Structure 1
Amino acid sequence: MEDTKEKQPLVEMIGIVKRFPGVVANDEVNFTLMPGEVHALLGENGAGKTTLMNILYGLYRPDRGTIKIMGRPVTINSPSKAIKLGIGMVHQNFRLIPTHTVAENVILNAPNVGFFIDWQKIHEELRQQIAKYGWRISPESRVWQLSAGEKQQVEILKLLYRGSRILIFDEPTSVLTPQESKMLFTTMRKMAEEGKGVVLITHKLDEALSVSDRITVMRKGRVVLVKPTSMTNRDELALAMIGRQEGASLQPQPGPRTDRPVLSVINLFVEGDKEELAVKGASLDVHRGEILGIAGVSGNGQVELAEAIARVRKVKSGKILLDGKDVTSFTPRQMYENGVAYIPPEGARTGVVSELTVLENAILKSYRYSPISNKLLIRWKEAAKLAGMLIERYQVVAPSINAKVKTLSGGNIQRLVLARELLGNMLIKPKLIIAVYPTSGLDIGAAEYV
C-alpha cells in the first residue's frame, strides 16, 4: 500500500446503525478506506459485512450514521447515486444478461453512451482495459459462453468503464477456481497500485491475509478489530471472528464402516448441459461410516456425477444402486424417501426459493409427510417447530422464520440448506449424503461444524 499518512480517506463510515426486524445488522460501525489500499472486511456469516457495504452502495439506507466520500458528507439513497460518486460493487451473484455480449452488458445503463452507439470505439476502449489487466475475454463474446471467472471480469469491467474509484467485492472467490482466484487478487493489487480503494468482503482468513493491506473484523454487527495485515495473524483473526481458535470445536468420531456399500455406481455415463459427455464410465462404492471425496478442477464432471446420483440429472447409461437396489430410474422424490440427502452447488441459487420464507424453505421436502402434514393440510405449528429447531441447531441468522430467504446472507442460506437436508424430517433419516461444495459460503466456524 502507498503511504497514506497525508492522504484523505476515500470513504469514511461513522457510527453506522442498521436494524432489521429482530436483528441489529450494524451497531455503531466505523469503517475507512484509503486510496491505494485493499481493505479486507472479515467476519462470519451474518456478521453485518455485506449489509455495511450495501449501505455504502445505496441498496440500504442507514438508520443512523454519517458517510463521507473524499471528506464530503453524502447521502447515498440509490446505487445510481453511488455510481455517480465513483462507487462500484461486484455482488456474489453476477448481474449480467447471458444472451448479451460482454460489451452490451458493460454499457447497459452506463452514462454518456448516447443514443447512437459507436460500437467500434467501445470495443477498442474495452480491449485496452482487458489488455491492461491481462484478461482474455473478448468484447464480442456472449456472456453465457464465459466461465465464472470471466463473468466476474465482465462485472469488474462494468465498474472500470463507469470510472469507479471505490470498488467493493462481496465474497468474490465463492464461485472461482484457485487459478481464477489468484488472477482476481492480482487484479485487486493492480487496482490499488493505481490509487483505487478496494474492499474485499470475505470470511476466508487466507484471502484476507494474502491480498489485503488492512483488515477490519466484524462480529455480530460490531467492529471488533482493525489492524494492518502485517501486524496480525491467522490465530488472532480467528479469535476475533468466531470467539475461539480454529479447530477448538469437538471433533466428530467416524461411525463403523460396513462391508456392504450403501451406494454403488457402475460404469456411469452422464451428459452435461451442452449434451457433451461430462461423466465417462465412472464407478465407485460408498460404505456406511465413511466419507468419499471426489476431487478435481472445477468443470470436470464432479457436479454432473452428483446430480445424476441424486437423480436430478438424466443418466445416459450405467447403473446406480442404493443398498443393492437399482435406483437408476428413480425420481428425486423417491431418492429422498429412500434416505438420500442432496446438498446442491450454489445453494443460494438452486437450493432455495428466494421469494419464500425461511419456514417455507425449511419444509420444502418434508411438507408431504408426518408430522408436518396430515396428507391434506400442512400443520403450520409443527412446521414452525421444525424451522425453529433447524435455525437453532445450525445457527442460521435470520430476523424470524417468516422472513423471506432473499433477505439472508449467502452463508446463512447455505446453513439453511444444510439444516433442511440433514435434519429436515424426523421420520426419514438420511443414510446417504451427497454434498457438492457443502462449505461454500460458510465461515471457518460453520465449515468446521459441517
Structure 2
Amino acid sequence: MKLRARKSVVSTVTASLALVLAGPALSANASAEASSAVTGAALLRFPEFAGLTDSRALQDPLMLQGRLTDVAGKALGGAQVLMAAWPSNDVVAKLPVGGSFSVVPVARTVAGKDGSYQLRSLITPLLASLTGRDGLDVELDVFHGGRHYVYLTQLKSDRGTAWIHDFVRGVDGQASELRSSATNALNLSFDPAHGEGVEDAARRGSHLRTSDKPIPGGPACTHWKNFALTEAWTTAATAVARNNTKASVLFNTGATITTSTGVGIGNGQFAINGSRTRTSGGGVEFESYTAKKGKTIARDFLVEVQHQTLERVCMGDRVGEYRHYYVTNPVELTGGFTDAPSKYPVWNCQLHDGKTTLGHGKVWTENAKAATYERAFKLTPFDGASFTGRAVSGYNEQVKVTFEFAGRHKGQWCGHTKFPLSKGQRVQGFEA
C-alpha cells in the first residue's frame, strides 16, 4: 500500500547563486606563494585554499576535530585537510540535471603526527547564507600518501557563535562513536582502496596550466554538476507486533531522516563516505497492524527520498589527464510513504533481560535515536553504478511507534529507544 501525503512548502532565505558561486580568485602561482602548508596535489586541485590561514594558527570557533587513520588504525600524520561549504540544500535541490555549483573554501589544516586535526572558522555572513534548514553541508578533501579522500557531512550554528556537529555511528561508516555538540568530534578512517591515487606533481617537476582546467575559467576540482536524480524508498521505522498487540507508526511533518552518502571515482562504484540529514515537509499516519494471538507481524515503514548524483572533473597528475568523481546527496523527502514485510530478524524479549519493560495497556516510543537501518535503500543512478545506503531516524513526536495491548496488564515492549536500550534492535510490542 502506497500513500502520498500533501507536502507543505518551506521557504528558506538563501544567498543568490552569484554569491554562492563566488570564491577567492587566486592563480595557482599566487596560491603557492601564499602558503607552504597546501602543497602538491592538494594545491593543484584546490589552489583557492592557499589563501586561508591554517586552523592551527586560529582561535575561531571549532568546526570539527578528531583523528585521521587508515582502516588498519595507522595514523595519517601530515595529512592535508581541506573543508569546503556547499550552497544550501534548498539551492542545490532546485538544480536541474546539468545544473552546477562551486563550493566555497572554509578552512584548512595539516594533521599532526598522530593524525589529529582541527578545523576552525568564524560564522561569517557568507557561511550563514549557505546554511539551510538542515544545516551547512560541507565537504572534506583529505590528501595523504598519494591518495585523495572525499567525505561529506553537516554542521549547524548555535546562535551565531558556535558550530555543532551531530554524528550518528553506523550511517556514514566511520570510526567514531562520539556524538557531542561540545567537542564536535569526527574521527575518520579511510580505506586506500576507496581513495584516488594522485601523485605530487610539484615533486615530479610538472605542473598543470590554467588552460588545462576541465571547466574553462573555473576552479580546479571545486565544481559539481548535477548528473542524475534518483528516488529511493528508505526505511524510516520498523515495528514488530506479537500476540494480541496492535502497532501504529506516525511519520509527521518535521520528521528527519539521516542517510549515508556515497563517493565513487571513475567507474561509479560507490563507497559509503559520509551522511546528511533531511527534514520532511509532510507526514502520514501509516496503516496499523494487529497481531492475533500467537502470531507475529513485522513491518518496515518507508519514506521516499530523492537523491542527486553529482559529478566533478578533477585535473590528474599529468597535463590533460582528468579524473571523474561522483557523489550521492539526499536532497528531499518527496512525500511518498509505504510499508512492507520487514527484512530485519525478529528477536525474543522477556522481563529482566535488560531490554524489556511493561507496557501498561498502551506505550509509545520516546525521544531517542532509532537503530541504524542497514541496506535501508539502494540507488542505481546510471549504468554500472550502484550504491546501497544506510539510514536512521529519531523516535519522538515526529516519528512515533505506538503499541496497544488487548490485555491492559499483560503488555510488554522492548527495543532500541529511550528505555530500554539494546544495541542494534528495533522496537517490538507483545502480550506476555
TM exceeding 0.5: no
Shorter-chain TM-score range: under 0.3
Name whichever structure is richer in strand by fraction: 2
TM-score, with structure 2 as normaliser:
0.21
TM-score, with structure 1 as normaliser:
0.20
Name whichever structure is richer in helix by fraction: 1
